[in-house]
Structure 1
Amino acid sequence: MGPSHSEGFRRLFLKYLFLLLAIAIPAIVFLEMCLAAFLLRPFGMTQVSGEAGRLAQFGSEHAALLVERDNRFMQDWERRVRAVPALEYLVLDPQGKPLAGNRQTFSPLPSPALLLQRLNQTILLKNDHYVNTVPLVSDTRVYGYLLLTYPASALPPQASISWAFILGLLLLEPPVVLFVVVLIFASRLGKKLNQPVEELMGAVEKIKQHDLDFTIHYDQPDVLGDLCRAVNDLRTALQSSLLREWDKEEQMRELVAALSHDLRTPVTVIQGHIEGLQRAQPAKRAERLERYLPVLETNAQRIGRLLEEILLISSLEQAEFSLQMQAVHLGDELRRKAQNYELAAAEQEIRFRYELYRVAESEEALLDFSQIERVLDNLFENALRFTPKGGEITLSCAWNVGVLSISLHDTGSGIDPQELPFIFDKYYTRSRRPKQGKKKTVGLGLYVCRVLIEKHGGQIMARNRPEGGCEVSFWLPLQ
C-alpha cells in the first residue's frame, strides 16, 4: 500500500477518533454531573432530617414561648424554619387545635388521641412525607404539640450510601460511557465500511473466477472510495488486456491459417511435380525433369523465404538481438540494389526507375545495411508482386542533414483503405489483389520491415497514391 493510501487511512481513523472524543467527553461530563447530583441528593436531604431534629429540640425547650407565640421568639423561630428547605411545621394546643404554622400541609388534622399515640415518633404518611410529633412540655405542664414534616428521602437511612460507594460510581461511569459510545461509533463505522468492503470482496471473488463483468458503485471522496476506484481501474485494465489477448489469439489463428495456405501452395506444386516425374516413362523422365526443375526451385525458394521470415521474427523479438553497425558507402550500395531491382522488374515487363537526391557518394554512414537491404528487398518484392505488366516501380532515396529517406511506389492496385493502418502488424494477413488473382497471404515481411526500421531509430509508413498504386516510405537517422 502506497504512502498516500496509508495517509488516507490515518486521516479516516483520526477523523472518527476526534468525532468519538468530541461526543464522548461532553457526554461523560454531563452524566458525571447528573450522577453526582443524584447520589449527593440524599446527603442534602439527610441534613434536612438532622435540622428537623434540632428544631424539634429547640421548640420543646421553649414550649411556652412557642405556644404563646411570643413575637420576638416567633421571629427567631420562623428564621430557623426557613433555613431548613422542604420543612413545614404546625403548633397545636393540648386539644389539637392549630395555633401556628401551615395548617393545609397537615390536613386533615390528627385527633388528640392520635397525637398521644404518635408522641416522639416519626410516621410515614401516604403522601411520601414523614411527620414527627413532638410534645411541648415545660415543668411537667403540657402546652401542646409540635408537628414537623419533611420528604421521606430526608430520613437518616438514605445516608447509608457511603462516600466510597459514590466515588466508585463516579470513577466507573466514564469508562462505561466511553465503552457505550465506542460501541455506537463502531456500529456506525461498521455500517459505513460494510458497503465498500463487501463490494471489494465481491470484486476479488469475481476476479478469481475470471469474471470481469462487474462495477464497484461506492464512490465517496475518501480513501475507501480511492481504493474502490483503483479496483475499477484495475478491472478495466484487465478487461482491456484480455480483449487484446483474445484479439491476438484470433489474429494468431488467422496467421496460422494464412501460413498454412502459403506453405500448402508450393508444397502441393512440388508434390504434384514429383508425382508426375514418378509416373513418367523412363524415356520421358529426363525431358520432364528439365521442365519441372525451375518450378520446383521457385516453390522451394518460396518455402525457404517464408521459413526465413518466421525465424527472423523470432530472432528480432529476442532481447539478445542487436544491429551490426558498420560504415558503408550509401551511394554505391543503393545503386547496386537499384541495378538488381531493374533486372528483376524487366523480367516481368515492368519499368523500374531509381532516383537519388543529395547523397554524397564519397561519404560514409554508420548502419546495419544488411538489415536495410532486407527491408528494401521485402518492399520491392511486394511491389513486384502487385504491379501488372507494363506498370512501373520507382525507388527514391535522399540523404539530407543526417537523415536517410527512402520511398518505393508502384502502379498496382493499392491497399484496401480499411487494412492500411494494420499492414505493419505482426498478425496482419493481406487481401490485396496480386497479379495471379485475389488471395489472402501473410504479411510477415512488412512486420519485419517495421521492426528493423524502428531498431535503427526510424519510422516506416504506407499510403495509397492519388494517381493509383501504393507507396511505402521510411526514414532513419544516420551517423
Structure 2
Amino acid sequence: MAALTRRAKGVPLSLLIAKYFAYAFVLICAVWAASFTALSASMNAGAVYPANWGAAHAGETAKALQGEGPLDPQSIPTAYRYALFAAGGELLAADMDGAMLERARELAADGEAAAETEVTGSAGATYASFGLSDGTFCVLGSDYMPQFASPSLRDSLPNPQNIMLAAGALGSLAAVALVARRAGRSISRKMAPLTDAAERVSRQDLDFSVEPGGVREVNEVLSAMDGMRSSLKESLEARWDAERRQRDQVAALAHDLKTPLTVMRANADYIAEEASSLASGGLGDISGAAADIAAAAERLDSYVGLLIGVSNGGAAPSEGRRSDAGEVAAAVEADARALAHAEGVALSVSGAEGLDGLEVPGDACEISRAAMNVVSNAVEHASERVSVSLRAEGGILEIEVADDGSGFSPEALERGCERFFQGDPSRAGAHHGLGLYAASEVVQRCGGEIGLSNDLARDGAVQGARVILSIPLAFSPNS
C-alpha cells in the first residue's frame, strides 16, 4: 500500500504515450527514407530515368533519331512517348494519348522540322518535334516524372514515383499498426493489476494485496481501489459475522424453547386432569389456568416450528392468503386478556366485535401473533394498565396498543423495529430484541406499516408508549 501511494513510483502515462508516438515517428521516417533510397538507387543504376531526363536530353535524342532514317519505336528511350505523322498530317503510329497526343497533332500541323520544347501548366511536359529522312514527321513527349528504362516495366507497372509513394504510405500504415499493437500489449500488461483487482472485487474475493503497476496514474487508481477493497472487506466481514451470529441466535432460541415447552405441557396436562376430578369449586380457577397453560404451550410449539423453518430459510406462510379480520380480533382479545391476567395488569379492549365480514391479507395466526408481540411488550412495561383498540377506517385495519409505562427512548423510536435491537442493555438477559421486529416484518408482508410513538402529558412528560399496526383491508362490504 505504501508503494502505491508514492507518486514517484511508476512512469507517467503521458511519457509512455509519447514514447510510442516517437516510435511511430521514427518508423515512418525510416519507411519514407527507404522508399526514397530505393528510388534513388534505381536511378543511379540506370533502371529508372530521373524526372528531368526527358527534358534534358530532348534535343540530343531528336538528333539521334533523325540520323537513323525511318523511325524505329524500339530505339526511342522509355522517358518519351511518340507520335508519327505523314507529310499531310495523318497519324501513322503513336503510343501517346490524351492531351499529349492533341499537342502533338498541333505541332505536326505547324509542320516544324526542328526540335521544340514547351512546358504546359503545372504538369510540365517537354515536346520535341522533328522531320525524318523519309518525309514523315515525329513528335516526342516527356512528362516531368521518373520512368522505368525497361519498356516492359514501363508498360506493365505504375510510374516509379507513384510506386514509391504507395510503398511509403503502406509502410507508414504498417508502422503505425505495429506500434499500436505493441503499445496496446504494453499498456494492457501495465493495466493488468487494475483489471485483476476489479475482477476479484466483483467476485467478492477481497483477501489479496494489490500489486503496483509500471504507470503512475494506474498506481494511483490501484491505491484508491486498495483502500476501497480494505473498507469493503471490513464492512462485508462485519455484516457476514453479524448475520452468522443472528442466525445462530435464532436457531439457538428455537432449539432451547423445546425443553421448557415439553415440561410445561406435561405438567399443565397433569394439573388439568387432577384439578377437574376434584369437587371443590375453588379449584375451577386452577383448572382454567392449567387449560390456558396447555393452550399457550400448543401455540408456542407451533411458533417454534415456524421459527425453525424461518431460521432454515423457509418461506413465510402468509403469502397469497386472506384472513377474517373478526377472527384476528377475537384471537388478539383472548390472548391479550390471558396475558394481562397472568401478569396482573388491567386491560381494556375495544372494537373487537365490529370487524366481522372484513378480510385482511395474510395468515390470521401470524397477524394475531404480531399483535401479541406488541401487547406482550406493553404488558411488560406498563405500570398498571394496557389498552387495545381495533378499528377499520378508510380501508385500513388498525390495531392500537397503548400502555402507561415509561415510553420509548429516542433511539427506540427510531430503531425499535430493527432485529435484535434492545433499548435497555441491562435487560439483555431476558429479552432478545425480536418482538417489534417480528411484528414489523409480518405487517410489511401484509402491505402495511407499524408506527411507534409516546403519549405526552400537558407538561410534555412521557406518560406511556403507543404502537399502531396498520394493515390494508383485502375485502370490505362497503368497498
Give TM-score, length-normalised by structure 2.
Answer: 0.48
Larger Rg: 1
